[in-house]
Chains A and B, each alone.
Chain A
Amino acid sequence: MGIFGGIGADKYDRQYADTFLFRRFGVYLRPHRRSVIAIIGLVMLFALIGALIPVTISAALEAMEGGGSDLFLFIGALFAIAILDYGIFWVRRRLTARVIGDVIGRLRKDAYHAALQRDMVFYDETKSGKVVSRITSDTQELSQVLLIGSDILSQLGEFIFLFLLLINYEWRLTLILLCLTPIVVGTMLVFRRLARTATRQGSRAMALVNDNIQESVTGISVAKNFRREAMIYREFADVNQQSYRINFRRGFVLATVFPTQNFLAGFAIATLVYVGASFVIGGSITAASWFLFIQAQDRFWFPFINLSAFWSQLQGGLSAMERIFALIDAENTVIQTDHRPAPELHGKIEFDQVVFRYSTGDPVLNDFNLTIQPGESIAFVGHTGAGKSTIARLIARFYEFQEGQIRVDGQDIRTFDLASYRSRLGIVPQQPFLFNTTVMENIRYARPEATDAEIEAIAHSIGGGEWLETLPDGLQSEVGERGSRLSMGQRQLVSLLRVLVQKPSIFILDEATASIDPFTEMQIQEALDLILKRSTSILIAHRLSTVRTADRIIVLKQGRIIEQGSHGHLMQMGGHYAELYNTYFRHQSLDYVEHAKQALEAEPGSD
């Protein structure tokens, strides 16, 4: 995460007017309107009491000097104010936390629910990490801003009350106090700007250090292998020293802020002391009132200094709100026309003059026709961009096509209830995704009602369960984040078993390209054989063995079917498939295994 993380706009971002944002946010506040009104009342009351403190002190001082009996009244008032001030703060803060907690919670849920609703086109265009930060961090930021905002609001209220009170005592002195405010605030703003520049440079220097460390720690084994630690250390020491120098400069700028503020405050007090004294001597105010102005001095500035300090944060809160609503409002392109529940399907799939274009307008499929019989397994082959995965994604209803019709069991797929339709599909993506739980739960994922015994039976049916051997707790092993504790091959196996448990009518496999040890590979093939036997299968094949097991191979070129048939037939034809074979599959053949060494060694190399 960097300083500038999240600043780059996403495609679905939009600009909302501030008034719209507030209105929209108001909807979330409406269920809490009583609390909100109470909070506003308490904020004002708190502000009034805050303003009354210096007034009461100076009145009490006067009473003390006057020697009247009302002194005790004022002393009582001081105690009462202290208790009341605390009490109101308490109630207000509690109530505010409750309202903010509820509102942010609601907003979070709405944002997350919206994120789950978005179609795959959305996730192709957006990094999921950035969506996550909208749901969690942006809402978090907003809740901080709301808290700060309520504090600043109360300080501003205090300023207004104080101003109204003071102007009754001595308007000229009030005016002087008021005039000093912009000087102090202005100076602070200048400093903030300087500090921001210095901070940016500092973070950049820091980022260099972090990059350096990240790289050398990642490559530590190489450095150790070649005994180059000393060189690596020198390089690090240089950037570290440089970061120290730049960050020190930043620190120096920040170090001047408070001294300057204190000096200005001292100057302001001295002015008040001197000018105020002249009014006391002139008889327009009492000495106690003069003291009131001196006490009031920092309360006068405080809200403005705070406001300038938190201004960028408040702005940040608004843009966070904007980002959250943009996520909630983003529109899907995949739209169902009806919500018919999908019954148990036979798995006949028909593409009828289907046209699919990217949002950029480039056509991928043009007038595409294809019928896949129930139970048939089809391997799609072709160069990258030929349209293989598009076909799979259209069947999975991840993408919306523009023209034509896709029918499953004779039924337009646009009319299905999406959830019930998808539950009939078994999809294995190229990068198998596992959830951070046990192997068992991952296999069960698509059919939560499957029993442990059922899963165990299926897991052991593959290669005699040999693949479970290397897992510490067999099926109960935790797979780690995104399955990181499992090897690539094991992850593929788990996602195939997931489909086996699910028993879908239609199986869609985007075959992985990663190389896998021959033992695990063999077990993957076994699992695949079992699935192919049961379901209509759409295979985006990268392995020669998978291509060969398919009932029919469909050769795609630029979104068109140019050849189809079995491996043997297509090889005979010597057309595009033969060319694809030579490009992608030749090295996977036994022939290659048997002859590669001699062939490649004999061939004159480029050395």
Chain B
Amino acid sequence: MASEFTARPPFKTDRSSALRFILSHIRRHPQFALSMIFGAFTNAALAAAVPYFVGRAYTTIQNGEPLEAIFPFAVAIVTSQGLRAGLQLMRNTSAEVFAQRIERDVRDELYASLLGKSMSFHDSVPVGEIMARVTNDVREINLMMNPGMNLLIGSGMFLVTPLIAALLEYPPLAITPALFLLLYGIAQYRFVRAMAPVAQDVRISFGDMNAEVAESLDGIQVVKGSATEPREREQFDTLANRVRDNFIRQGSIEARYVPQLLLGLVVAAGFTHGAILYNQGIISSGMVVAFMGQLVLFGFPVFSSLSAFSQASLGYASTKRILAVINQETKLDQNTGGFECDPHGTITFEGVSFRYAADSATVLHDASFRILPGQTVAIVGQTGSGKTTLTKLLNRTYDVTEGRVLIDDVDVREWNLASLRSSISIIEQDIFLFSRSIADNIRFGKPDATQEEVEAAARKAQAHDFILTFPEGYDTIVGQRGVTLSGGQRQRIAIARAFVTDPPILILDDSTSAIDSATEDHIQKAIWTAAKGRTTLLITHRLSQIRWADHIIVLRKGRIVAQGKHDDLMATSEAYRRIFARYEGGHAELPAQSLDDSAAHQPIPAQKG
């Protein structure tokens, strides 16, 4: 499968189905899987040994033998349970290693595949959803193995051992446990079937209620401001009642857990059968005692297999979701044999159209323009008009649907992807900094950059001064686990980051808003410095940058509705003119524009409080 990044995989897994995927992971640790199964069997067998020895001791007593004759049975019980504990420890440890390794490996595999996915994947899937796959779903696979499978196999053995024990003691005794197994299977199946939709209703209704609370409290100011509390209250009450009804429904299905009845009946029936055989003189009373003790072992699967089963099925569902992510096609590949050079920075769009998927709407229609090396282009338009999409075709985050995008007159699809991307630097709208030092963030694209290079870049990006205001200076940790920076500061660090790699093409999606004019000065200065000497595409809201760009592209509904210089657009574009007209209008109505202007009006004297 095509991938933008390949981590050297230490192993190969079968990704054709969830079951095969799990099996291929299991197969990597056969020793632990076997030890788990072996441990489960011996555990059940040794548990069955207790009633056996108790039965023997019972017979011994009934035969009137002395106390010394009982002693070996007590010793046998302790020994067998010691052995059982030892084997169980081995089994549980194996299960743990097994489950933890699978969790680690699946996460590793999923993560590597995420790194290899194209940006079109990452743009379309929210981080929260990816996090849910990588954390919860991967953890569910762990839990599916242990306790899930471990318990399922373990309790499964407890279903078998009473049957085997009965067969060994006196085969006809096996009738009762066999009948139990049959009925238990049916009852359990029906229970799970009845429960599944109700459990889902409970989950969904709870989720709905939670969403309603979260939303209305998050927007409490609007709720209060609009005085709509009664409406919200009514809505919540309806949802809360639905949760209650489903909870009660679930409770009454749980109450009807038939295996519980079967467990009581199997003991009664087993005893009856045993008593009849005893009365006919076929078996001893000790055997009846042992048999009873073994039937009681059914209690374990009756009470535990349900949670084990649901754990296993949850894990299976998680596996499917993980696989869906891993198997999602990513169209672009690294094209390592492609064209490589240090471009001058000519950008040409030839009749470019684009849509995200074959069945979705076209977001860019027939866009054509040519930008010469060193020019600064402002791309303007409303949100959703296709500005960001247009820039994403340049570094092949997406590939065009129709037409061509050329850099230095070579189609981007013919470029070596690594070479193409290293000639284009993108500063996105949401500027992301890693949780490491400012210096390391600036040298992110060139890890061997010296401190001097880093500082020079920061100076050019107008970031040096504010960096020095931190006590740790360039060693200040930023991001999730460090200092919080303002949007403007993050933007300037990102610009410094671009300076270090010095790309011939820069794409800057600028939506930071300066709270004050001094910051605005810094940001603008940084951007103009960055634009100098390279081809620069600016997606910007700043009128001054639009005003002074070498070329302006106005987008509306994915179409270029106007392009040219400021003066051209003032002449040709009505929408463009209106923006500036509003400013000039405001300008005209007020004579006092700058500080040193003097006018005759006297301000109203301030009221003193």
Contacts and interface: CB of A to CB of B under 8 A. Distances in A.
A123 B115 CA distance: 40
A584 B543 CA distance: 16
A601 interface: yes
A574 B599 CA distance: 12
Given A105-B241, A562-B606, A571 B597 contact: yes
Interface in A65-122: 65, 67, 71, 75, 78-79, 81-83, 85-86, 89-94, 96-98, 100-102, 104-105, 108-109, 112-113, 115-117, 120
Contact of B221 (A429, A578, A587): A429
B97 A433 contact: no
A29 B75 CA distance: 53
B contacts with A: majority SS: helix
B469 interface: no
B58 A86 contact: no
A101 B115 contact: no
Contacts of B252: 93-94, 97
Interface in B473-521: 479-481, 501, 511-518, 520-521
A420 interface: yes
B127 A214 contact: yes
Q: Which of B100, B127, B293, B524 has most chain A Cβ within 10 Å?
A: B100
A589 B593 contact: yes
Interface string B225-269: 111111111001100110111011011101111001101110110
B210 A517 contact: no
A433 B218 contact: yes
A565 B604 contact: yes
B100 A116 contact: no
A281 to B, nearest CB: 6
A500 to B, nearest CB: 13
A344 B119 CA distance: 55
B128 to A, nearest CB: 9
A216 B7 CA distance: 15
Contacts, number: 523
A322 B235 CA distance: 26
Contact of A251 (B99, B433, B462, B548): B99
Contacts of A291: 54, 58, 289
Q: Give the bracket for the number of chain B residues in contact with chain A.
A: 35 or more
Interface string B119-133: 100100001001100
B384 interface: yes
B607 A369 contact: yes
A225 B445 CA distance: 8
B229 A266 contact: no
A219 B432 contact: yes
A240 interface: yes
A280 interface: yes
B222 A116 contact: no
B50 to A, nearest CB: 6
Contact of B135 (A213, A236, A270): A213
Contacts of B108: 236-237, 240
Contacts of A218: 127, 432
Given A210-B131, A518-B380, A572-B601, A590 B583 contact: yes
B100 A247 contact: yes
B111 interface: yes
Contacts of B214: 128-129, 132
B19 interface: no
A487 B62 contact: no
A321 B51 CA distance: 45
Given A247-B100, A517-B382, A220 B54 contact: no
A450 to B, nearest CB: 12
A261 to B, nearest CB: 9
B134 interface: yes
Interface string A484-521: 00011110000000000010000000000111111111
A65 B406 CA distance: 98
Contacts of A521: 541, 579
A410 to B, nearest CB: 20
Contacts of B337: none
A126 to B, nearest CB: 10
A117 B227 CA distance: 11
Nearest to B589: A548
The 3 A-B residue pairs with the shortest CB-CB distance, nearest first, are: A97-B251, A266-B81, A82-B264
Given A105-B243, A435-B219, 13 more contacts: A116-B220, A132-B213, A210-B134, A222-B434, A225-B421, A252-B93, A267-B78, A277-B67, A287-B285, A490-B383, A513-B513, A561-B608, A601-B528
20 contacts: A116-B216, A116-B232, A123-B220, A132-B213, A213-B135, A221-B119, A256-B89, A277-B70, A368-B609, A427-B221, A433-B218, A470-B383, A472-B361, A518-B380, A520-B382, A567-B592, A572-B602, A578-B595, A596-B544, A605-B529
